[in-house]
Structure 1
């Protein structure tokens, strides 16, 4: 059983990370591990695609807080470009072993704020 992933090329990664850096420098993206939304944003922002399980593990490794997959999913639904400067991207990949769809997520800078 091979782990499913979505590859990101160097150019896409640089474009996305550049947008995130611009948000940080503009003061729109603040590190706030005190609340769940802040932890999820810090874990999901960037070019890497992650499943909810991977986001759950990443949040725990970054902040030593066990936010559940359901809670992380809810916070991802609440991301608003006008408030957070980020948009949620979602992709589905069909698992060849089970035939089920596996969803991947990431947060990227909203285009109108980066330009």
Structure 2
């Protein structure tokens, strides 16, 4: 229901032999008022906040990929310097295998 139906009413066509039905503007306005809080809540869930959350998720994912590249570089430098134990310790603390970052691409 919407503003138009609250002014003019609404017609629901029938099926087969069943006749259609006209809902008065008053009935449409009452239904619109009754369900408005639920519709507003659904719009809130699916609207701007969800889009902002998705944008934030993309930014965070890009940052994780960037930091993973830095960790990968640091681990490589440690290995070149003969610090294999330190490199392995950093990889273990990071909890994500450095090789995973080679396969990841930043969101575009």
User: Into which bin does the TM-score normalised by the smaller protein fall?
Assistant: under 0.3
**TM-score when normalising by structure 2:** 0.26
Which of these two proteins has the greater Rg computed from alpha carbons?
2
**TM-score when normalising by structure 1:** 0.25
Q: Which has the higher contact order (CA 8 A, sep 6+)?
A: 1
Higher share in helix = 2
